[in-house]
A and B are shown apart, each in its own frame.
Chain A
């Protein structure tokens, strides 16, 4: 019963370094999402993929890129990390509109 799996769970980067956050779901969901969570700001949508082969910007896409590799996998890339990208990142997936999301356990990223 894996659900949504995110890797890594923790990461420390230096300013300017790049990295990719991985996300995979085993529920055959069509849609996948990347959110960031910051204190007092709730969850903000970075990018989403409504279906395999499509991606769209969310509320805070600057500094990020995504790839929907296949139906199961949706990765988030930071090309040149900045301290403002220090956050907890959550991947989620869903099937039908109105059904809610299933979330991964998160990646805690610190950029120094």
Chain B
């Protein structure tokens, strides 16, 4: 079975600072990994995905994530935070053998300080 752990339910950074949201996964087979963003009162939007190609994945809005098998991690980063990045972020995992069910982490709320 797969699982995902997001470290930190709330992260606060200053505008212009580095954003780092942490995600560790557990999977007995090669995983597919995702980051989703949820703005207030909206559904989830796919930011980026890792599906066994390049380990550094670039997504929308300047975000990227690096798959590190040795650390079982898939942390999300952005070099310079914008006020519009304030939202909740979810890391998620699936595998080819799980009939495309995706398991979500509990989420990290990102706040941006002016």
Q: Is the CB of A40 within 8 A of B100?
A: no
Query: Once the chains are docked, how many angstroms separate the CA of A41 from the CA of B90?
Result: 11
Q: Is the CB of B101 within 8 A of A42?
A: no
Q: Is the CB of A100 within 8 A of B101?
A: no
Cβ of A50 within 8 Å of any chain B Cβ, yes or no, is: yes
* Contacts A97-B96, A100-B49; A90 near B101 (Cβ below 8 A): no
Classify chain A: how many residues form its interface, as a range.
Answer: 20 to 34
Q: Is the CB of A43 within 8 A of B100?
A: no
Q: Flag the segment in B11-19, B38-46, B66-74 that touches A.
A: B38-46
Q: Is the CB of B94 within 8 A of A97?
A: yes
Classify chain B: how many residues form its interface, as a range.
Answer: 20 to 34
B-contact 0/1 string along A87-105, CB 8 Å cutoff = 0001010101111111111
* Contacts A40-B9, A42-B105, A43-B90; A97 near B100 (Cβ below 8 A): yes
Query: Once the chains are docked, how many angstroms separate the CA of A4 from the CA of B84?
Result: 24
B35: nearest chain-A partner, CB-CB:
A100
For residue B104, give the distance in angstroms from its CB to the closest CB of chain A.
Answer: 4
Q: A40-B106, A40-B107, A103-B44 are in contact. List 8 more A-B contacts (CB 8 A).
A: A40-B9, A48-B99, A96-B100, A97-B94, A98-B32, A98-B49, A98-B96, A106-B42
What are some 17 contacts across the A-B interface (CB < 8 A)?
A: A42-B104, A42-B105, A43-B44, A44-B104, A48-B99, A48-B101, A50-B100, A90-B44, A92-B44, A97-B32, A97-B99, A98-B49, A98-B96, A99-B49, A101-B44, A102-B46, A103-B45
